[in-house]
Structure 1
């Protein structure tokens, strides 16, 4: 394969900015190693894009589609070198930003976070959904290795990072790709093809990318106690080229069959809490280990007695097992104890659920439902130790899907009639009724539940897009309204005019100008005519009758009055509501007003429609809560509660410039909240606003529990 003219040398891909000098040497090594792999992936992508587009052109059903793909092939050939250069520059910039005090003004991919732009089309939504699916596949497939890399980067830089800050995280890699492709003049079908190729030739090797980065960091002593994530496919890119796709799931377990190596590492940590699951008998009773198969039978028995979600008593897994073991021990006359490995699994599941059931991101109404999954997931983990190490395990994915779907749910009195609640309750009940030992049911339920949530997500996205479009229209209207107010003030500033005329211009004629601005623009004939009519009105009431112009005023009045009435009609003003003004205007033209009561001097700017007050003006620029507001990203979920009002969970869907208003929608895509930056900062200060962690629930629980166990072991 000839790469002449295609390869961008790593040392020339970007002019290294000064922040890199402050980065640890190992991070520069991680960057350069990753850059080499990513560059190779991009080359593979472009080398295969030609063939892919040619096949699409060959399959085109009509003469309209046929040239689209050929034009795309030509565009890719011409812009390939620039595409690769921009991608690498984005990568190097992201690493440079890691060395700065803050995270910079990085913004996630707008289409991934569904950031609104004026005139967003269905193409944008289609691209957004494709990207979300891509990111989900990478996180489910390589979430463990990515999480370890995030943890190591956080420890190395002494600041918390997640995969949205990680230059090698899938979200930022997609952002680099989309930014690099902005110069491509291709239509949506070609863009979607390019995204699929990016997933196939770049993101599919993310396990190798994260594995090598983790190895470099471990070699320099960064969190070596984290056990290496199992590689999905030995051989990376070459394996993809020579291995059939349907064999990939089996290859996932080649390195650590059944997850025994990863579980052994967990057992070292769990030794500190071992001995907490045992029957309550006298010490003289002879201990007899209970076989794993018998333990599963006991758990299946206990599974039938899991309390309903509305039960008052909490379900304590270990306590329930102790009582069951005690009954079995009394019956046999021996102290029936579980084996160490099984007890470790029991303790780990109990600790994981303890974290999850105290997690703010899980709504209270759903915690009782999730708690009922403890025994089914315990049985899965007893049967398959890879449950703890394999992010793509169907049982883990099902739990994560349930938690993520529930996160945006706001409390309501009739929650038991809610479609999402009912669907999750149905999933839980099926597991309790049907799951014995065959884990296939988790895959089946995952497929069904994912289809349900995808349908809900599609509907909510359509509504959310409508919300953003409406809000963008509102912003345009407010901007035009402010321009009209400025025009009025410039025309009237310092003038002494009849009060009735000033009120008419502010309340009625401003609407005529606003409509002309929005409908025709401020370079239009209609806009200029509106200004001219306003100037003539101001001129007419300022004339003295004993002047030459004043004596000829009556000749010009019919044209002025006609222009005023036509303008008001175009703005749909009721003629009866303006009749009083025309009567006053006639009187003013006959006899100019005298006295301070009838005349006013315009000294202050007009405010046609005051917006949200922004308390940010009273806060210093470095206020920590204001900084928290600035760090909110599109797509962030928050929980908002004012005083005694019900809690509202909502997602940030847009930040509307220039006033910087934050627009939030509920899980159905409907607008529920609009706040200024200052109002949100004050809500943070009062404790009325909390950002919800939208990371995968099981992965967060696993990281928290292992961290807690590690501290416990250090303290001994």
Structure 2
């Protein structure tokens, strides 16, 4: 984990921390008391990180995600002590540096901002939003106590301080955490989980941190006149115990303060596009804000007129709402406008769906169906602002689940009978028909849809596993075939042997060797025994009568014949078919002892002698690739970056595409095996073939990250660029 924000780190090369004796004793007490609490919070964080990551791994949809979370667990365990030590060391250094302030030396404390730079990656944007929300929550919740502590530290040091310069301020604590975690090699999902745990187990106790520090300073007479800040903890428990107050809000759905803080951060960005939803009346017309309840009624009215997927008509939500507001305004004689917060939600949902409907990872054939969810998603966002900040929000999860299930879907002629299409259509229609102002329907639909997708996933994974097993088995067979062919060629090429023996070895004994290699392996006693039998057979038919070995041949024959019969029997050869070979073999072995002066079998009786000149091939050779690319070619690197479980789309012709998932990479041929969403094999390519497909634009990878999260990161990035441009 490393800091991607605009951070000026503590300059260790220039900073000369003052000796501890220079710090006021009370400041040392504040530091040590805070360090003790922060250590405890970090210990709780790491103690619970294992359970959290294990749960995420257990819920992972594929082995890749499963391994990511387990690797993160291992990394945290190994680096935990160094992490905690690094955090506390930075805390102590910050206190030492703050003690130097006012002594005429340069300020060396970090100036921390977590606003992502223009052009930042989606990961940076996502982390920046999370950090800004965390800091906003602490400031909103404990800002008064933090301000008093900063004022007292400034009084103690004789210099005015800012909250950002306070070593116990949330900005500094987050900076310590990010710097301590720079050695953790984790992807953004894991980073955000760890950040959330830091917020839960460390920043959530900031009131206690600031309260105890303030009490220590008050006890020594540092600004005792500042009014003490009451602890929020008992009040928080009371609030949790009480039912929410009746606000008159539809469904009495309340967003927590953290969600409101996060939404407020989004509103700052959305200010640039505010004013796009307003009725077209004279400028002099008196304006009258429309309540949230009335806005929901208007949206429910529009919800009944969302066009069917088959209708070739772009549904512009803001335009439709503006027309409806204009009609209402004309009737009332007043310009009815939505308030700023509701307009911000409308604009944000509209931009999110613009991204979704332009997203190339979402099948075109399903975009019109998913577009019909725009008004239900807008209504739930108006009701509950945590929709934008809470990844576990049921409505947000439902949209992500639909997009994930649709990743491998391809339109077919009878797509309206496809089970997935029908199930998504059922969800959409239920929301359009039944959702008024009770968001509980999203939880119900999510549960039902998850049951369906889990069943589909289990069937798909079963077929995928069978496909992988079959392909891996085929690859092992090809390797074994080549090994057997190499073994036979090593022993036969250039030799002059009876034709009947050569044919027997190539046609029959090759299968015996293949079975031994596949079943037991090349290091097994069975494989070695079959090789020895073959060597003995070749030796036996090449002996001459006058040699010492030839005179002892008859003593060796029973064992050789037994080994040959056992091998053929294990390979399930028909004994009647092999009987002819043993008759001819017997003749070969007997004839040298029947007076043949040459010591060789009679060609007329047992067949000709031949010289083996052509290499034996047990199976057709794999086609050679006509074009090869250098190892550093960009498209070769794209192939190397493919991971098992990723989705790709092949352009079959001008009109048709094929979506499939990489299910296995089979060595040594470097074969990439692709399956469709049901788990059946649809394509096989070598690495070089894939690289050429990338080069000609015939294949592209699909982004299988959560759809809503990608859309939100993209919209935030665009809004930031718009704000920077202004």
Partner-residue secondary structure (3-state), 1:352: helix
5 Å-filtered alignment, 1:128-167, equals: none
TM score, norm. by length of structure 2: 0.62
Equivalent residue, structure 2, for 1:432:
432
The more displaced of 284-293 and 672-681 is: 284-293
For 1:488 and 1:680, the matched residues in 2 are separated by 34
Q: Structure 2 vs 1, CA of residues 216 and 554 (structure 1 numbering), >3 Å: closer, same or farther?
A: closer
5 Å-filtered alignment, 1:132-531, equals: 212=174, 233=200, 235=202, 257=257, 259-280=259-280, 287-497=287-497, 501-502=501-502, 504-531=504-531
Q: Tell me if 1:690 matches 2:700.
A: yes
Q: Structure 2 vs 1, CA of residues 46 and 702 (structure 1 numbering), >3 Å: closer, same or farther?
A: closer
* Counterpart contact for 1:26–1:216, Cα < 8 Å: no
For 2:582 and 2:683, the matched residues in 1 are separated by 42
Partner-residue secondary structure (3-state), 2:358: coil
TM score, norm. by length of structure 1: 0.63
Larger radius of gyration: 2
Equivalent residue, structure 2, for 1:715:
725
Q: Tell me if 1:88 matches 2:74.
A: no
* Counterpart contact for 2:673–2:683, Cα < 8 Å: yes
The more displaced of 279-288 and 648-657 is: 279-288
Equivalent residue, structure 1, for 2:610:
599
Q: CA deviation at 1:421?
A: 2.0
Aligned length: 545
Equivalent residue, structure 1, for 2:621:
610
CA RMSD of aligned residues (A): 5.1
Q: Structure 2 vs 1, CA of residues 25 and 678 (structure 1 numbering), >3 Å: closer, same or farther?
A: farther
Quick one: which of 15, 39, 43 aligns to 1:40? 43
Q: Structure 2 vs 1, CA of residues 270 and 39 (structure 1 numbering), >3 Å: closer, same or farther?
A: closer
* Counterpart contact for 1:230–1:256, Cα < 8 Å: no
* Counterpart contact for 1:484–1:514, Cα < 8 Å: yes
Equivalent residue, structure 2, for 1:223:
none
For 1:250 and 1:598, the matched residues in 2 are separated by 99
Quick one: which of 601, 626, 630 aligns to 2:636? 626
For 2:241 and 2:368, the matched residues in 1 are separated by 36
Q: Structure 2 vs 1, CA of residues 347 and 576 (structure 1 numbering), >3 Å: closer, same or farther?
A: farther
Equivalent residue, structure 2, for 1:129:
none
Q: CA deviation at 1:632?
A: 1.9
Q: CA deviation at 1:41?
A: 4.9
After superposition, what is the alpha-carbon deviation per residue over 1:485-542, rounded to whole angstroms, capped at 9, x for unaligned?
3322322243244666545433432221111222244455543342233224433554
Partner-residue secondary structure (3-state), 1:313: coil
Partner-residue secondary structure (3-state), 1:618: coil
For 1:210 and 1:569, the matched residues in 2 are separated by 77
For 2:40 and 2:10, the matched residues in 1 are separated by 16
For 2:665 and 2:473, the matched residues in 1 are separated by 13
Q: CA deviation at 1:449?
A: 2.0
Q: Structure 2 vs 1, CA of residues 254 and 89 (structure 1 numbering), >3 Å: closer, same or farther?
A: same
Q: CA deviation at 1:337?
A: 3.4
Q: Structure 2 vs 1, CA of residues 316 and 632 (structure 1 numbering), >3 Å: closer, same or farther?
A: same
For 2:725 and 2:117, the matched residues in 1 are separated by 22
After superposition, what is the alpha-carbon deviation per residue over 1:429-484, rounded to whole angstroms, capped at 9, x for unaligned?
11111111111111222222223323332333333333333444334333333332
* Counterpart contact for 2:45–2:201, Cα < 8 Å: no
Q: Structure 2 vs 1, CA of residues 163 and 330 (structure 1 numbering), >3 Å: closer, same or farther?
A: closer
Q: CA deviation at 1:684?
A: 1.6
Partner-residue secondary structure (3-state), 1:638: strand
* Counterpart contact for 1:356–1:701, Cα < 8 Å: yes
The more displaced of 704-713 and 636-645 is: 636-645
5 Å-filtered alignment, 1:601-680, equals: 601-602=612-613, 604=615, 606=617, 608-611=619-622, 613=624, 618-643=628-653, 646-680=656-690
For 1:593 and 1:214, the matched residues in 2 are separated by 93
Q: Structure 2 vs 1, CA of residues 607 and 516 (structure 1 numbering), >3 Å: closer, same or farther?
A: closer
Partner-residue secondary structure (3-state), 1:336: strand
After superposition, what is the alpha-carbon deviation per residue over 1:387-445, rounded to whole angstroms, capped at 9, x for unaligned?
22222222111111211122132333322222222222211111111111111111222
